[in-house]
Chains A and B, each alone.
Chain A
Amino acid sequence: DADVTQTPRNRITKTGKRIMLECSQTKGHDRMYWYRQDPGLGLRLIYYSFDVKDINKGEISDGYSVSRQAQAKFSLSLESAIPNQTALYFCATSPGGGLETQYFGPGTRLLVL
């Protein structure tokens, strides 16, 4: 089984709808991250969490919110989706403690019409 899973893998929604992307991990890592990938722009950090009680904004948090329900679960919400949020979204985890390597999920492809 994959260590970092994301659901759904693909989603089509309409402008103004609220949607949630979910991430689960079995690696036992404390740190979790949400990124979006756009062609030609690499990955940009949306939010990150170092433990259940710690949530931090990343580079592009406007229009997004997150919830860290447990050590293993980190959800990303778009409260009112807009077309320029069409992108590939990745969840990642890392062990922290000076070990910076991040482990990525397979991604969720989101299309906002």
Chain B
Amino acid sequence: GDSVTQMEGPVTLSEEAFLTINCTYTATGYPSLFWYVQYPGEGLQLLLKATKADDKGSNKGFEATYRKETTSFHLEKGSVQVSDSAVYFCALSDQQGAQKLVFGQGTRLTINP
């Protein structure tokens, strides 16, 4: 079945550092890909998404590019802030049938001032 694998956490960085969180997927067909963010005590919020190969999703300074050849959707940000501290989830949605989301295990990010 479809699956998503994220880099192990937790990740701790200093403010203004460069961030990469790796995400790879296994899927039949051509899934849409998502990054969701979960701030402390809250539900998940959509951060960005991409629906086809070579699409780049971006939001709040975060970016991720849908790479079909490497089945990856790595999350990047050039300069992180303390307010970016959260848990980040990579997910895919197959475009057939139920269009269910399949999530990675999540990566906890802590940014120190």
Contacts and interface: CB of A to CB of B under 8 A. Distances in A.
Interface of A: 4, 33, 40-45, 48, 50, 56, 58, 90, 92, 94, 96, 98, 100-107
Interface in B75-113: 89, 93, 95, 98-101, 103-106
Interface of B: 4, 32, 34, 36, 41-46, 49, 89, 93, 95, 98-101, 103-106
B99 A90 contact: no
Given A4-B43, A104-B45, A42 B105 contact: yes
B43 A105 contact: yes
19 contacts: A40-B106, A41-B105, A42-B4, A42-B106, A43-B44, A43-B89, A44-B103, A48-B98, A58-B100, A98-B95, A100-B93, A100-B95, A100-B99, A100-B101, A102-B46, A104-B36, A106-B41, A106-B42, A107-B42
Nearest to B99: A100
A45 B43 contact: no
A102 B34 CA distance: 10
Contacts of B98: 48, 50, 56
Contacts of B44: 43, 90, 92, 104
B42 A45 contact: no
A103 B46 CA distance: 8
Contact of B100 (A48, A90, A98, A106): A48
A42 B104 contact: yes
B11 to A, nearest CB: 14
A24 B57 CA distance: 30
